[in-house]
Amino acid sequence: MIAARPRRTTALSSIRTVRDLCTYVTEAAGNAERPLDEYLRALWRLGAERHRAGRAYLTAAELAELLTAAFDAPAPPFDPGWRLMRDQTIDTVPDGYTTWEATVREQILDLDELVRSGLADASGSFFAVDADEVDAPGGSRWSNLAPRDFLSAACTGTFGEGSCDGTPADASPLGLIDWDRFATFLAQGQRRL
């Protein structure tokens, strides 16, 4: 069951800085119970819709909207065929969206492998009591298996220390976010804070 989202104190239309973005996303995450792989599958679908609409860049508010909508949006089912795409080169000079899509797909596959190999359970917990990081069978290191922790680490890793508690060193306008930067944001989410 997905927990109801808490009321946010930041209006989506007012998001312009790192502080605004991270505060909004942290508030939206609340006590979310959605498994991270399901969250990422929903995010992938929502991102694909934006890309098909011709969006090469996202505003800070649009990024926040995508990140929060993925908590409740329908997620496509896991497709084992995605494994076949793992080692394929799509083109020699991937565009930002191709990089973003490959990042999300790879993370979904890693999470599936963590569960299938017995390193984590489907709800997003490591099986080893003392484990706070684990290497997926594909080689990627994971520290955050819950959406809230994942997004908090993504904010910190992408925008710097303090971005999770609303006090980043740089509170200047965030500007447009391209798909490459969004891919980096997601990659930072799996790392330890």
Tokens encoding 52: 């098909």
Q: What is the C-alpha separation between 185 and 193, in angstroms, rounded?
A: 13
Lowest mean pLDDT across 26-40, 53-67, 87-101: 87-101
Q: How large a percentage of the chain has pLDDT more than 70?
A: 78
Q: What is the C-alpha separation between 35 and 176, in angstroms, rounded?
A: 29
pLDDT level of residue 66 (50, 70, 90 thresholds): very high
Which of helix, strand or coil describes residue 178? Answer: strand
Sequence-ordered list of residues with C-beta below 8 angstroms from that of 57, at least 6 positions apart, any chain: 176, 177, 178
pLDDT level of residue 65 (50, 70, 90 thresholds): very high
Side-chain-side CA neighbours of 118 within 13 Å: the count stands at: 0
What pLDDT is recorded for position 7?
45
CA–centroid distance for 109 within its chain: 14
The answer to whether residues 105 and 81 touch, using CB atoms and an 8 Å cutoff, is no
**Of residues 158, 146, 142, the one with CA closest to residue 22:** 158
What pLDDT is recorded for position 47?
95
Domain boundaries, the chain: 15-189
Residue of higher predicted confidence among 32 and 5: 32
**Residue 169 clears pLDDT 50, i.e. is over it:** no
Tokens encoding 136: 């997926």
**Of residues 107, 124, 187, 109, the one with CA closest to residue 154:** 187
Alpha helix positions (H), 128-189:
147-159, 179-189
**Residue 71 clears pLDDT 70, i.e. is over it:** yes
DSSP assignment string, 114-136:
HHHTTSB-TTS-BSSTT-S-EE-
